[in-house]
Structure 1
Amino acid sequence: MKSILITGASSGIGRATAELFLAEGWRVGLLARRTDLLEEVAADRPGAVVLAADVTDPAAVDGAFAEFIAVAGRLDVLFNNAGIFTPPATIDETPLDDWYRSVNVNLNGMFLAARAAFAVMRQQRPQGGRIINNGSIAAHVPRPGSMPYAATKHAITGMTKCLSLDGRPFDIACGQIDIGNARTPLVEDMADKLQAADPAAPPLETMAVEDAAASVLHMANLPLAANVQFMTVMATKMPYIGRG
């Protein structure tokens, strides 16, 4: 049975991805802070392993990976997905706590998970595995007032490139998926707020979160001799290409 560990697995893209991989017969490590939500995902799914941990806590992350390996035997894929948004603001009006929280979760948390996965994949036999980082459309084009989120997501692109280079001697592949406007509770809440702020504005273009999950599955199913280095999957009509 192939194995994947998914961070941020309790909701949104992480949850949809976990549910798809479980349906496809994978052993799935579900990592997030809230045990109750993880147990909802795991219910009646024997391939699920609940791993309650905070991605910003190095000891908790290492412990969760060790717990998963004890059950699964090896780690084939990490979907490095956990992340947060903070309220929109210009840089001078951005609370420092929002900046530090974003860096801690979106960058430090992804670093810690990638670090733990890399160590496992380097040491296991057969050696190797795949790390899939969840970047964002914001890794290329930010929304106004999104400094903490956009800056951390741009940093993930650098992390992806470094992991790709450093992983080559150990058969560790690394790619990045940049997802735009998948229908998650966070995106739906943002769409409602934008509509309330400007009722005359066109509705936010979105796509099914299941299509984002299917894209992760495609990346994960490739042999280690092949890699999707960067993938952009987004709502077709969202204003990303050109000036909108």
Structure 2
Amino acid sequence: MGRASAARIVAEGGKVVLWDLNADALAAAADEVGATHVIALDVADPDAVAAAAAESAKRLGRIDILVASAGITGATVPVHEFPIDSWKRVVDINLNGVFYCSRAIVPFMLENGYGRIVNVASVAGKEGNPNASAYSASKAGVIGFTKSLGKELAGKGVIANSLTPATFESPILEQLPQSQVDYMRSKIPMGRLGEVEESAAMVCFMASEECSFTTASTFDTSGGRTTY
């Protein structure tokens, strides 16, 4: 989703800096997207995030948009069997990483009196998926964090919203057993998984000037699974 959103932003005249843990994937994405710059980092490292934010601001001249889309699923097991190290890693990336990114980027937006923050959550954060407690909890945290952040920034020209997609075709599915993917598909009234372009289109609206009177909220791309 990050790559698809970046590609659309560039196609519409924007400049992007891509962050990712996988340096090889970053290099490939940079060529595909036409990125201004790429930075390999772990979003669970607050010092690395702060350094990347400063470097991005230098490369771009200003920062108007933050799309926080990094995420992992963690183990697919019941709570009483859930590995503690997996729980911590999921929360570190999916929730703490979102916090670190906003903490580092918001000052640049406040300086300019303008910004759009898009935090990618999940329908799992609204409903909870069985055998995915860490993922569900972390995404619920993203929704709550974004509500707080959006209200803090309301009236300052900086808007923050979260996106709650249902399962869509993505490399993250490689981290899940097929039974879990089948379960999540069965919960979608449209009877199919989403396409990344559908969520990327919503991301780009949320990141645009046109999204000017909705903040601290969630936008849904779930095929009818969640309607609240």
What TM-score comes out, normalization by structure 2 length? 0.88
Q: Aligned pair in 2 of structure 1 residues 224, 171: CA closer, same or farther (>3 Å)?
A: farther
User: 1:135–1:156: 8 Å Cα contact kept in structure 2?
Assistant: yes
Query: Structure 1 stretches of 5 or more lacking a match?
Result: 1-12
2:44 aligned partner: 56
Alignment of 1:32-181 (within 5 A): 32-43=20-31, 46-123=34-111, 125=112, 127-181=113-167
User: 2:7–2:33: 8 Å Cα contact kept in structure 1?
Assistant: no
Q: Aligned pair in 2 of structure 1 residues 66, 197: CA closer, same or farther (>3 Å)?
A: closer
Q: Aligned pair in 2 of structure 1 residues 44, 109: CA closer, same or farther (>3 Å)?
A: closer
CA distance in 1, matches of 2:133, 2:204: 30
Q: What is the CA RMSD across the aligned residues, in angstroms?
A: 2.5
Q: Aligned pair in 2 of structure 1 residues 177, 195: CA closer, same or farther (>3 Å)?
A: closer
How high is the sequence identity, in percent, across the aligned residues? 31
Q: Aligned pair in 2 of structure 1 residues 175, 45: CA closer, same or farther (>3 Å)?
A: closer
Q: Aligned pair in 2 of structure 1 residues 45, 164: CA closer, same or farther (>3 Å)?
A: closer
User: 1:80–1:132: 8 Å Cα contact kept in structure 2?
Assistant: yes
Out of 168, 172, 179, the position equivalent to 1:194 is: 179
CA distance in 2, matches of 1:106, 1:139: 11
User: 2:72–2:172: 8 Å Cα contact kept in structure 1?
Assistant: no
User: 1:129–1:224: 8 Å Cα contact kept in structure 2?
Assistant: no
Query: Structure 2 stretches of 5 or more lacking a match?
Result: none
User: 1:133–1:160: 8 Å Cα contact kept in structure 2?
Assistant: yes
Deviations 1:16-56 (A, max 9, x none): 22222222221011001122211111116544321111101
Kindly provide the amino acid, as one letter, of the partner of residue 104 in structure 1: D
CA distance in 2, matches of 1:14, 1:222: 19
Q: Aligned pair in 2 of structure 1 residues 165, 93: CA closer, same or farther (>3 Å)?
A: same
Aligned residues: 222
User: 2:123–2:166: 8 Å Cα contact kept in structure 1?
Assistant: yes
What TM-score comes out, normalization by structure 1 length? 0.82
